């Protein structure tokens, strides 16, 4: 696999010089693969980009956004690495921490992370873990001493919903029951509202970006 596969973590800004003759992108379509569902932060970034970037690339290509919300974005990463042609026309908006899955030897990984090319990011965001206000855990000490660990929702391993609670366990001796397998953040939001899980970790940018967090 060539090293020219383009990986879009959040936001793509091209610096490619236009060729002397016909621009490379003229008459072509760029497919922007999003490793999460519609309405998530990565999806918002991708669709915002897709609305404008074609106007500024030489040749003014069409930009199509395609969602692949499965396994926390791993399906999208596998697709871009092993199925899409490495021709500069397929890029991805996925979680930048999937290298954790490769380091852990996850058998679902079909990509070699160092062979992706990072292009750019739309923002620099810190991570947070929040809980329902009616959960019986008000402090980290409550989580450490709890007889029953709080349930946190996550799409899959290699995502902040998984590794943030795990890091807290390693560093602060907390205990969490991480429930994985949700298709995307929207699904986690729903089970949070149903009180099926009581906590979730993700970026502060995503928290302030959309509902239900605005209200």
What are the sequence ranges of the domains in the chain? 6-118, 127-207
Q: What share of the chain is helix, strand, coil (3-state, %, to 5)?
A: 30, 15, 50
Q: Average pLDDT of 99-115?
A: 82
**Burial of 176 per CB tally in 10 Å (0-12, 13-18, 19+):** buried
Q: Average pLDDT of 67-91?
A: 86
Q: Which helix (H) or strand (E) holds 41?
A: helix 41-56
- pLDDT (0 to 100) of residue 211: 79
The phi and psi torsions of 98 (rounded to 5 degrees) equal -65, -15
The Cα 90–Cα 7 span in angstroms is 8
Q: How confident is the model at residue 145 (pLDDT cuts 50, 70, 90)?
A: very high
Residue pair 109/156 in contact (Cβ under 8 Å)? The answer is no
Q: Average pLDDT of 125-142?
A: 91
User: What is the overall mean pLDDT for the chain?
Assistant: 83
pLDDT tops 60 at residue 19 = no
What architecture (CATH level 2) is domain 127-207? 3-Layer(aba) Sandwich (3.40)
The Cα 169–Cα 201 span in angstroms is 13
Indicate if the alpha-carbon torsion angle 197, 201, 207, 209 is positive or negative: negative
Q: Average pLDDT of 147-168?
A: 89
DSSP-derived 3-state class of residue 113: helix
pLDDT, tens only, 172-212: 999 999 999 888 888 899 999 999 999 999 888 888 877 78
Residue pair 176/137 in contact (Cβ under 8 Å)? The answer is no
**Which of 1-10, 40-49, 68-77, 176-185 holds the top average pLDDT?**
176-185
pLDDT tops 50 at residue 15 = no
- pLDDT (0 to 100) of residue 107: 84
- pLDDT (0 to 100) of residue 13: 41
Nearest to 128 by CA among 36, 42, 207: 207
Q: How confident is the model at residue 119 (pLDDT cuts 50, 70, 90)?
A: confident
The phi and psi torsions of 78 (rounded to 5 degrees) equal -65, -40
């Amino acid at each position: 696999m060539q090293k020219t596969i383009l990986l879009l973590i959040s936001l793509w800004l091209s610096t490619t010089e236009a060729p002397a003759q016909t621009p490379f992108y003229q008459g072509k379509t760029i497919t922007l693969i999003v490793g999460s569902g519609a309405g998530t932060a990565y999806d918002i970034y991708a669709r915002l980009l897709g609305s404008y970037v074609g106007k500024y690339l030489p040749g003014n290509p069409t930009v199509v956004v395609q969602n692949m919300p499965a396994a926390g974005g791993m399906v999208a990463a596998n697709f871009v690495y092993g199925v899409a042609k490495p021709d500069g026309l397929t890029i991805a908006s996925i979680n930048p921490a999937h290298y954790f899955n490769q380091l852990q030897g996850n058998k679902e990984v079909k990509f070699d992370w160092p062979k992706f090319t990072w292009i750019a990011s739309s923002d620099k965001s810190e991570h947070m873990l929040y809980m329902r206000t009616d959960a019986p855990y008000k402090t980290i000490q409550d989580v450490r001493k709890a007889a029953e660990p709080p349930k946190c929702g996550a799409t899959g391993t290699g995502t902040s919903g998984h590794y943030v609670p795990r890091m807290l366990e390693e560093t602060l001796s907390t205990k969490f029951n991480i429930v994985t397998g949700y298709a995307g953040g929207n699904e986690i939001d729903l089970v949070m509202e149903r009180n099926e899980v009581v906590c979730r970790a993700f970026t502060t940018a995503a928290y302030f970006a959309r509902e239900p967090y605005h209200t």
